[in-house]
A and B are shown apart, each in its own frame.
Chain A
Amino acid sequence: MVEQRNIKPAALTRLQEIANDPYGCLADLRKRKRIIGSTLADVPEELIHAAGLHPFLILGTNNPIRHSAALLPDNSCSLARSNLELVVGYQSAFFDGFVLSQVCDTTQHLGDIWKRKFPDHYFENFLTPRQVARPSARAWYAEECRRLRGALEQYAGRAITDAALRESFALYNENRALLRRLYAIKREAPALMTNREFFDAVKAGFFMDRGEHNELVQAVVQWAEQTKDHQASANGYFRVICVGIVVEPPALYDMIDEVKGTIVADNLCTASRYIFYDVETKGDPAEALADRHLRKPYFTPINEDVRRIYADLISLCRDNNGEAIFYVHIKYCESQDYDLPDIKAAMRTEGIPFLELETEYQTTHLAQLKTRLQAFCESLFTKGAQGGVR
């Protein structure tokens, strides 16, 4: 098949603009709705949406740390520090309130400090279950959804009806389905769009009105469906499994693009964990949200089986014919710190090429990462898929 020139649609350009500068769109939205910021990974945004509020996922800043250094020690995870910095230093005026989820020691404290810093803002903790192995976890997640629903109703000054919730579920399900479809096409036709473009398209949804996001993603999917056959050649690309919580700074995607790695599967909170599985629109809404939560891919701080930290990665890699795993490690993320040695050992045993990319908001040394990535790829291909574990 003859490859044609790949002209990207305007919808994709718009999604990328929003992903890389979300605050312009936030200012517009705030004229219509109150903005509720939330943090990764498990706040059910549908509840905020059904209350007539706008959920906005706070993903930190790469601007220099000036304010949060006085509030959190420098050995706290940089995502937490950077989230706090963004809100304290730069964007507090954009938000009307916050719902912060607690998944580890850092996020627990972050919530308390945050609440004290913004006494005039609406604030709610979402107490995510930190075990998912037993029936009590499902009941607790559902209960927290009910509590959050009540709290949001009080703040919004209106009832969140089951009908409104189901509409939100349907809207978010549509969003997830569109993104999953786009991901599937990207997998089939790696030349169609870059990693950066795809993950930016997902990321834009964290900030935008969901209906508008759906329209833009729909347009991109249509373009992708029409164009994919002309861009199907996988020549020159190698299949990457991207693992971690977030990929920040996003320039990391550009680096993977530069070495012609195409991400075919991931377990990122900002990708598969966000778009996989829908919420059942029948039955009790809180329980439906709990069911979705428990079906999500493995998440380093909380998992039901201690072996999943590597077993899931091995399956993810094998099921998707991955040629290498790139593990994005946020510096000072304790969960990842504890997991990594056993994960690396398992990858060695399995013979899966594995590269750890340590990142830190503000201080990631991109040139060093690039060199590591290039050296790994060189070794991977010159030594016949024996990139090893680094």
Chain B
Amino acid sequence: MTAASAKPSSKELSRVLTEGYLLDARTAHEHGKYVAYTTAVSPVELFVAHDVIPIYPENHAVACLTKRMGTELSLAMEKQGYTSHLCAYARSDLGYRITGKSAMGGIPDPDFLLACNAQCFTLTKWFEVLSRKYEVPLFVFDTPQWIREPGARKEIVKYCVAQLKELIAALEQLTGKKYDYDRLAQVMAYSQQASVLYRRFLDMAAYKPSPISIFDALIHMAITVYLRGTPQAVEYYQILCDEIQAKADQGVGVIADERFRLYWENLPVWFKFKDHFNLLKSYGANILTSLYVHAWSYEFDLAKDPLETLAENYCSRFSNVTLEERAEMALDLFRRYSMNGSIMFVNRSCKAVSFAVYTLKEIITETTGYPALIFESDMGDPRFYSEAQIKTRIEAFLETLQRRQAAGA
């Protein structure tokens, strides 16, 4: 922050907020607070309103995988009998539990675990392991697939609201404190404001040239994941939107000569982040978005009962809708952001997202007529990343795009 400016930059604020958040979590018990591990997509608003600090082992794993610690941590857990087929986040986390090695000084141990299966089923099993290890309760928030039947959806919401009430009872038991619903209403309001701003930030990818790439989205989504429901998250996304809007207004794009606007399917290959960006840039290609980064674009309806709007939002994430609806969500992004190609990653780590990819490719290419590249690898373990092969395939795909463009397709 400069002396003259009143507001910090989003980058500065992100650092300050992250440090503060981790400090709070590490000193939670000293301040009469509790630490709960939870999944990135989960009704964390219930924690925030009850002085329970959410910690995301997935985020910690991302930090480790980005620093290329994936193989080392995985090998540690493989030695204890786990298989390398599991999710790289889980492997990294269980490896950290064994070795104590971390890219960010570790995370505090949990008092409580919440697994929401709208995101995936893996987390439930991973958290079961942690629940046994730390002898702390595990609450599974079960979100049945958000199938397209209005009657069924109504019943799903009822089931989920009943579970959220059970979760509140479990939190009251954990803390010995009565739940404060007025405070929840306030938290919901912050969460809704931050979500609106986060979505606005993501939607700036619609500008031509785009002032953001998916790599920006992946960096900036961190705050909404772990500080959702706080005024700090609202402030952060307001500052971020202002910064990006200024770039868009000046016509500043991430890629100066933006020729290809691409869709990315799946989570990123965390340890190849920069390499992928640079490779694409050299061809004038920018990956604008993915459904993954939109998973935190919630649309809370504050006029509704908070538990009902939480249930609706957490059930309807892209990872929990039908394949048909997921394809429609992706096609909506295609239209809104004027994209003209896809890179689709079949991620060995993430069955929940990857098992649909072959069929999604079929639907998206049939509907848009734009080409798509599929490649298989792992988001966090370089042992499953075939450097030369994947690079060649991406280059060949970009050359195809060039030829199509030259031919006026």
Q: Select which of A334, A340, A342, A344 is within 8 A of B122 by beta carbon.
A: A334
Kindly state whether residue B282 has any CB partner on chain A within 8 Å.
Answer: no
A73-B354, A76-B355, A112-B322 given as contacts; is B86 within 8 A of A127 (CB)?
no
In the complex, what residues of B have CB within 8 A of residue A341's CB? 80-82
Q: Select which of A106, A108, A338 is within 8 A of B145 by beta carbon.
A: A108
Kindly state whether residue B399 has any CB partner on chain A within 8 Å.
Answer: no
Contact A332 B85 (CB under 8 A): yes
Contact B132 A306 (CB under 8 A): yes
Among the stretches B201-209, B334-342, B345-353, the one at the interface with A is B345-353
A134 to B166, CA, bound (A): 8
Contact B144 A127 (CB under 8 A): yes
In the complex, what residues of B have CB within 8 A of residue A17's CB? none
A232 to B408, CA, bound (A): 82
Kindly state whether residue A139 has any CB partner on chain B within 8 Å.
Answer: yes
Residues of B3-39 whose CB lies within 8 A of A: none
Contact A125 B83 (CB under 8 A): no
Contact B155 A334 (CB under 8 A): no
Contact with B along A330-341 (1 / 0, CB 8 A): 001011011111
Contact A127 B145 (CB under 8 A): yes
Residues of B290-332 whose CB lies within 8 A of A: 322-324
- Residue of A at shortest CB range from B159? A140
Contact with B along A102-114 (1 / 0, CB 8 A): 1011101111110
Contact B359 A112 (CB under 8 A): yes
In the complex, what residues of B have CB within 8 A of residue A110's CB? 355
Among the stretches B44-52, B103-111, B123-131, B254-262, the one at the interface with A is B123-131
Residues of A335-378 whose CB lies within 8 A of B: 335, 337-342, 344
Contact A109 B356 (CB under 8 A): yes
A125-B145, A306-B131, A340-B81 given as contacts; is B124 within 8 A of A130 (CB)?
yes
Contact A342 B129 (CB under 8 A): yes
Contact A131 B85 (CB under 8 A): no
Contact A130 B142 (CB under 8 A): yes
The majority secondary structure among interface residues of chain A is helix
In the complex, what residues of B have CB within 8 A of residue A71's CB? 358-359
A75 to B155, CA, bound (A): 34
Kindly state whether residue A88 has any CB partner on chain B within 8 Å.
Answer: no
Q: Select which of A72, A116, A127, A306 is within 8 A of B128 by beta carbon.
A: A306
What count of chain A residues pass the 8 Å CB interface test?
46
- Residue of B at shortest CB range from A332? B85
Contact A104 B132 (CB under 8 A): no
Contact A73 B376 (CB under 8 A): yes
- Residue of A at shortest CB range from B320? A108
Q: Select which of A102, A112, A131, A143 is within 8 A of B323 by beta carbon.
A: A112
Determine how close the nearest CB of chain A comes to the CB of B353; give it in whole angstroms.
Answer: 9
Kindly state whether residue A34 has any CB partner on chain B within 8 Å.
Answer: no
Contact A72 B358 (CB under 8 A): yes
Q: Select which of A105, A116, A129, A139 is within 8 A of B324 by beta carbon.
A: A116
Contact B351 A339 (CB under 8 A): no
Contact A105 B145 (CB under 8 A): no
Kindly state whether residue B163 has any CB partner on chain A within 8 Å.
Answer: yes
A73 to B377, CA, bound (A): 11
Kindly state whether residue B121 has any CB partner on chain A within 8 Å.
Answer: yes
Q: Select which of A73, A125, A147 is within 8 A of B348 by beta carbon.
A: A73
In the complex, what residues of A have CB within 8 A of residue B156's CB? 127
Contact B147 A125 (CB under 8 A): yes
**Can you report 23 A-B residue pairs in the complex whose CB atoms are below 8 A from each other?**
A73-B346, A75-B351, A105-B120, A106-B351, A108-B121, A109-B351, A109-B352, A109-B355, A110-B355, A112-B359, A113-B359, A135-B166, A136-B163, A137-B142, A143-B158, A147-B155, A306-B131, A306-B138, A334-B122, A334-B125, A337-B83, A337-B86, A341-B81
Q: Which 10 A-B pairs have the closest CB atoms?
A: A112-B323, A341-B81, A338-B125, A109-B355, A127-B144, A131-B140, A136-B162, A105-B352, A131-B142, A140-B159
